[in-house]
Amino acid sequence: MKEEKKEGNFWLTLASFIVDKRKAIEILFVVAIIYSIASVNKVQVNQDITSYLPAESETRRGLTIMEEEFTTYGMARVMVANVTYDRAEELREQIEDVPGVKSVVFDDSEDHYRGTNALYDVTVEGEDEDTVSISAVKEIKNVLSSEDVYVSTTIGQVEESAEMLNQEMSIILVLAVVVIVAVLLIATKTYLEIPVLLITFGVAAILNMGTNYWFGEISFVTNSIAVVLQLALAIDYAIILCDRYMEEHEMLDRVDAVKVALSKAIPEISASSLTTVSGMVALMLMQFKLGYDMGIVLVKAILLSLISVFFLMPGIILIFGKGIDKSHHKCYVPEITFVGKLAAKTKYIVPPVFLVVVIAAFFLSSNCRYAFDVNSVESAKKSTSKIAAEKVEEVFGASNQLVVIVPQGSYEKEKKLLQKLESLDYVTSALGLANQEINSDYTLTDKLGPRQFSELTDMDVEIIQVLYAGYAYQQEKYGPMITGIDDYEVPLIDMFLFLYDQYQEGYVQLDKEMDESLTELYDTLHDAQLQLQGENYSRFVLSIDKPTEGQETYDAMEEIRELGEQYYGKGKVVLAGNSTSAHDLEESFATDNIIISVLTALFVMIILFFTFQSAGLPVLLVLTIQGSIWINFTIPAIQGQNVYFIAYLIVSAIQMGATIDYAIVISSRYMQLKYEMPLKDAITTTLNQAFPTIFTSGSIMTCAGFLIGNISSDATVSAMGIALGRGTLTSIILVLFVLPQILLFGDFIIEKTALAIKLKGNVRESNGRVHVSGHVRGYVQGEIDATVQGVFQGQMQVSVDTVLPGRQGQIEEITGESPNAVRSRQEQMEETTGSNTQQKEGTQE
């Protein structure tokens, strides 16, 4: 080791510094852990997936306008099954009496009563996440606890979903740790390696969770699965360092072994992490910013995992060093020699078949039915709210609401547009100020003169005339005050609200009965105004008889938009709702899919190009993993299942970035061993050496994915888990049973596209006594890389690159010869070169 230091080995110098200063480094990590634990609660979790839509998307613009200008009261569809109509009426009254309930809509129509099922449309006094709304829904459930009740609502779902998801992810994390321990018991050679690995990973996970607040907020999807993905993606790094340590410790003491192991592991692990990071970087370039959110958190997770492995783990190894030495056990990962032999026999069969399968998988996966509304995706486990929503939809059908936002200022335009919208076959209801009736004669936005308003309110016309004059003065319209106020007409809602303001200020006197009527009417009008009329925009709420997503729904949306633009001009009408969200997500998906597919493959190929110094090998490796991605999503296409678009995009990037490491492990070992032994032996040895690494990492990631997919009740998280588990398993199968044949079949491509400049000379194999003249690189009962002139005895596989000085252009053939012939040729060479050849019995003459 001292000799290596003198040679100026940078990595060894760095490793020595880390190991020598391990006590100080451990103190820094303790401080960082305390800081991270204290910061975990600072992380803001965003439950609204639509907030990650591009800012210019229609849904994002619509939601922003609604947040700024309108109040959206929470609503719930409450279904009571197995109830008579009379009993349903009684329950309606009980629901109306619940504190926080604003209104309950229920009648004997099929919209609200079918068979023995009653449906109540309940509006509460607050928005979805307000305390009054959440309390009202809880109390409704309590009131109806003796009934067969189903409550379909978004009220309080953020809090409920977050709480449930946290509980589920805690279970998943515990099970994942159990799986990791089980895998490590099989794959490692000492028992006390396991706590070293778990401590290292645990610290990295805590550091990542505690620093997420640096980004302000993260999505609930990222918050839920980042820890498990970090575990699956980065535990390899710790395993590599442990393996290196065990190798070096066979010849060195513990401290020196850690230094040498770390010096070799840093560049190896750093290079390995680049492909994973590249996949995360591709995620960050998505238009749908959920990819950026997940990508940047996972990049940070990988970097913190590297820091923990490089700086903390050496000290932990030395702490457990004595225990590691005393706790050796057998490695239970079997050799897979049969796979290598099978690869050698099928190297001309498997690659063409795989090419056909990949092409078919590409077309099949392209025909996946992608879902862009989370409610269209099935999860293995359903939440209570999901079950309730499905039950209500089963009996009364789905409720698809679409919001139409138009510039505010013309009640006439609003009324005409609402009338056209109501006439559409698929519009079951349309709500706006301009079509809300106050009685059989008037709507809220009809214009009335003083006498009509007097008759409607049963107030003296003289008082109303003064009221109209005051309104005109306030609006700076002085004409009616000169020409005559009787012909001045004002929208009914505006005059009612003006009347209420004047009454509150004491300018108008009303009797008790009129006071109660006006106050009640004001409350109703004010609520309507808050919901449907903003400072700059008016809002219509439509119920349409169309599914949430699909071309027929998008065509209907386009027709509604065109009707609005007839009155307000192109680009002035904004739609919002689940259907517009699905449409916007579908449009961004096309671009994001190209970004993920192209950039991930491109980044990985560039990294592999510099790693292997070959143009052909990266193509073969990326083709293998990209093929596994297509095959992964061919399965749901064949089964006719919906694939949630987020799962496809994110898992594609992770699968390429992470599982390409399995292909790299096999390829790098094969490229080394192919010069040491025959190709068929090289691939067999490669698979036996690489299988423990692939088994350990692959089984952990596969299990983590399937655990997430089968335990989480959140459809988004569940879909990603299933796709990740299935994709990792597919990659493992292809890397073990297809990639070896591709390497053997494509060996000539790899050689021809290598960047190393090679002079004439071929790899030769020979047995017995062999005459060699020239620069030889290869193995002769051991490695040789030197200028050689002499005779070797034994088995050899070498590459003759050049000749001795003075003998340019003359490369001697490598042939087996008799001893006499060898001596004769040797004497001729000695005379030519003036050199003396020393002979070593049994190895070299």
Reported as a single tens digit per residue, the pLDDT across 182-229 is 888 888 888 888 899 889 988 999 999 999 989 888 988 888 888 888
C-beta of residue 710 within 8 angstroms of C-beta of residue 723? no
Least confident of 422-431, 458-467, 624-633: 458-467
Residue 563's alpha-carbon distances to 63, 417, 423, 432, 484, in angstroms, are: 21, 7, 12, 16, 38
* pLDDT for 454 beyond 50: yes
Q: What percent of the chain shows pLDDT beyond 70?
A: 88
With cut-offs at 50, 70 and 90, classify the pLDDT of residue 789.
low
Give the mean model confidence (pLDDT) for residues 16-45. 92
Rounded CA-CA distance 499/481 in Å is 18
Identify the pLDDT of residue 6: 40
Give the mean model confidence (pLDDT) for residues 818-834. 45
* pLDDT for 1 beyond 60: no
C-beta of residue 685 within 8 angstroms of C-beta of residue 340? yes
Identify the pLDDT of residue 329: 82
Identify the pLDDT of residue 574: 94
With cut-offs at 50, 70 and 90, classify the pLDDT of residue 784.
low
Give the mean model confidence (pLDDT) for residues 92-112. 91
Identify the pLDDT of residue 307: 94
Identify the pLDDT of residue 258: 93
* pLDDT for 273 beyond 50: yes
Identify the pLDDT of residue 759: 38
Identify the pLDDT of residue 775: 53
Identify the pLDDT of residue 494: 87
Give the mean model confidence (pLDDT) for residues 414-437. 90
Helix axes 616-639, 600-612, angle to 10 degrees: 150
Identify the pLDDT of residue 521: 78
Give the mean model confidence (pLDDT) for residues 589-613. 86
Identify the pLDDT of residue 840: 34
Identify the pLDDT of residue 792: 53
pTM of the predicted model as reported, rounded to 2 decimal places = 0.76
Rounded CA-CA distance 454/323 in Å is 95
Residue 73's alpha-carbon distances to 96, 130, 513, 532, in angstroms, are: 16, 10, 29, 11
* pLDDT for 403 beyond 90: yes
Identify the pLDDT of residue 712: 84
- Report which DSSP code applies to 426: T
The set of long-range contacts for 485-489, using a CB threshold of 8 Å and a minimum separation of 24, is 485/450, 486/449, 486/450, 486/451, 487/449, 488/449, 488/450, 489/447, 489/448, 489/449
Give the mean model confidence (pLDDT) for residues 445-461. 86
* pLDDT for 795 beyond 70: no
Highest mean pLDDT among 116-120, 655-659, 769-773: 116-120
Rounded CA-CA distance 43/211 in Å is 8
Identify the pLDDT of residue 839: 35
Least confident of 107-111, 151-155, 828-832: 828-832
Burial code of 825-844, b = ≥16 C-beta within 10 A, e = fewer? ebeebeeeeeeeeeeeeeeb
Rounded CA-CA distance 577/197 in Å is 47
Give the mean model confidence (pLDDT) for residues 20-38. 94
729: helix, strand or coil: helix
Give the mean model confidence (pLDDT) for residues 539-561. 91
Paired tokens of 262: 């770390």
Paired tokens of 319: 């702490």
- For residue 24, how many other CB atoms are within 10 A of its CB? 10
Identify the pLDDT of residue 627: 92
* pLDDT for 496 beyond 90: no
What is the 3-state secondary structure of 386-407? HHHHHHHHHHHCCCEEEEEEEE
* pLDDT for 802 beyond 80: no
Radius of gyration of the chain (CA): 37
Task: Kindly give, in sequence order, each residue whose CB lies less than 8 Å from that of residue 462, ignoring residues fewer than 6 positions away.
Answer: none
Task: Kindly give, in sequence order, each residue whose CB lies less than 8 Å from that of residue 27, ignoring residues fewer than 6 positions away.
Answer: none
Identify the pLDDT of residue 824: 47
With cut-offs at 50, 70 and 90, classify the pLDDT of residue 796.
low
Identify the pLDDT of residue 89: 93
Identify the pLDDT of residue 416: 92
Identify the pLDDT of residue 601: 86
Identify the pLDDT of residue 756: 54
Burial tier of 415 (Cβ tally within 10 Å: 0-12, 13-18, 19+) = middle
Least confident of 85-89, 151-155, 720-724, 775-779: 775-779
Give the mean model confidence (pLDDT) for residues 763-781. 53
With cut-offs at 50, 70 and 90, classify the pLDDT of residue 95.
very high
Alpha helices (runs of H) in 250-396, residue ranges in sequence order: 254-284, 290-307, 313-319, 321-326, 337-345, 350-366, 384-396
- Report which DSSP code applies to 104: E
Paired tokens of 344: 């050698």
* pLDDT for 665 beyond 80: yes
Give the mean model confidence (pLDDT) for residues 458-479. 84
With cut-offs at 50, 70 and 90, classify the pLDDT of residue 523.
confident
Mean pLDDT of the chain: 83
With cut-offs at 50, 70 and 90, classify the pLDDT of residue 538.
very high
Residue of 630, 624, 615, 712 whose CA lies nearest to 661: 624
Report CA torsion sign: 83, 86, 89, 91: negative
* pLDDT for 829 beyond 50: no
Highest mean pLDDT among 342-356, 693-707, 751-765: 342-356
- Of residues 506 and 701, more confidence is placed in 701
Identify the pLDDT of residue 375: 77
